[in-house]
């Protein structure tokens, strides 16, 4: 499949018009006429992921997070993005990202996490079929058991899983945003809200408000939350007749956690 043909399919699957205004999804580098047979998928584009793609003869790398964001002004090779992109180009590996446009669709990033957890009667946080985050129901359980369910589901990371709440709390409704989702925490009512990248002040505000309106917050790794989507996306890409390989590189940023 040519790059141009893959882009046309990707636009039908993850429409660029659904991306946030600040986002930069789509083709990062590569020739539109390049033919691809083997594709690698990863949450992030890192040196280790690109090296693995090269070693496994993948000519297209499909990532969730775009490489070029935040006012990139140079591709000099003493800076990592320039060196990384140069390596991909030299080895003829095309780079593509589906980011916030893949977050909101059915079988997208948050939807994949919701289905993996086993949520029922699932909608986006705003009640629609598609949109940011997901909310749904689970068989009655405790916060402790729900966290163990997440632990078994997600790839292991150094920082593990953090929570605010009573481990004996009854859980029947779950809201989630795969990735950084604290801006949505008050947009829906649920027994527990699951997301990543929770800062101190929003966490403390949540904890204090929970003294009045009891509910729980669970923080999982950004990488782990979004990695669940890779197998879903890989299956869709395989249906195109391409070989899709999920990178085995854990791109969670942290190396250690001392207690």
> Does any domain span residue 259?
no
Identify the pLDDT of residue 41. Answer: 98
CA angle at residue 142 from 141 to 148, to 5 degrees?
A: 95
Inside any domain, residue 255: no
Cα distance between the two ends of the chain: 50
Looking at the domain assignment, is residue 134 inside a domain?
A: yes
- pLDDT attached to residue 74: 83
Q: Are residues 76 and 116 in the same domain?
A: no
Specify the pLDDT at position 7. Answer: 98
DSSP H helical ranges for 19-105: 47-55, 80-90, 100-103
> Which pLDDT value is given to residue 52?
98
Pick from 55, 72, 102: which residue ends a domain? 102
Q: Give pTM, 2 decimals.
A: 0.96
Looking up tokens 């990384």, which residue turns up? 84
Residue 199 CA: distances (Å) to CA of 44, 213, 248:
22, 20, 28
In this structure, what token pair is assigned to residue 135?
A: 């909310």
pLDDT score at 72: 78
Residue 182 carries which DSSP code?
G
Is residue 63 included in any domain, yes or no? yes
Is residue 229 a part of any domain in this protein? no
User: How confident is the model at residue 122, as a pLDDT?
Assistant: 98
The total number of structural domains in the chain stands at 2
Q: What pLDDT does residue 70 have?
A: 77
- Note whether 87 and 113 are same-domain residues: no
**Domain co-membership, 93 together with 26:** yes
Q: What is the CATH number of the domain that holds 37?
A: 3.40.1390.30
What is residue 259's predicted lDDT score, i.e. its pLDDT?
A: 80
Domain that holds residue 127: 109-223
- Together in a domain, 67 and 130: no
Q: Is the domain of 86 the same as that of 131?
A: no
Residue 246: exposure state from Cβ atoms within 10 A (0-12, 13-18, ≥19):
middle
Distance CA 198, CA 159 (A): 13
Give residue 69's pLDDT: 86
238 within a domain of the structure (yes/no): no
- Asked if residue 242 is part of any domain, the answer here is no
pLDDT at site 162: 97
Predicted local confidence at residue 117, as pLDDT: 98
| List of the chain residues with pLDDT < 50 | none
């Amino acid at each position: 499949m040519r790059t141009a043909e893959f882009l046309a399919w990707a636009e039908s699957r993850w429409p660029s018009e659904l991306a946030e205004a600040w986002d930069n999804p789509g083709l990062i580098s590569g020739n539109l006429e390049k033919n691809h047979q083997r594709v690698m998928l990863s949450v992030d584009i890192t040196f280790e992921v690109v090296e693995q793609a090269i070693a496994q003869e993948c000519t297209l790398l499909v990532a969730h997070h775009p490489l070029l964001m935040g006012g990139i002004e140079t591709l000099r090779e003493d800076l990592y993005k320039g060196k990384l992109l140069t390596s991909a180009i030299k080895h003829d590996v095309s780079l593509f990202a589906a980011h916030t446009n893949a977050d909101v669709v059915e079988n997208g990033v948050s939807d994949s996490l919701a289905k993996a957890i086993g949520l029922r009667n699932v909608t986006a946080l705003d009640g629609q079929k598609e949109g940011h985050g997901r909310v749904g129901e689970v068989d009655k359980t405790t916060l402790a058991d729900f966290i163990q369910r997440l632990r078994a589901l997600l790839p292991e990371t150094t920082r593990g899983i953090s929570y605010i709440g009573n481990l004996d709390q009854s859980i029947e409704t779950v809201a989630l945003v795969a990735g950084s989702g604290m801006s949505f925490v008050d947009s829906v009512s649920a027994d527990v809200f699951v997301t990543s990248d929770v800062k101190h002040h929003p966490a403390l505000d949540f904890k204090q408000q929970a003294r009045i309106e009891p509910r729980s917050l669970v923080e999982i790794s950004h990488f782990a939350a979004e990695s669940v989507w890779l197998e879903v996306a890989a299956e869709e890409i395989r249906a195109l007749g391409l070989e899709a390989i999920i990178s085995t590189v854990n791109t969670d940023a942290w190396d250690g956690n001392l207690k």
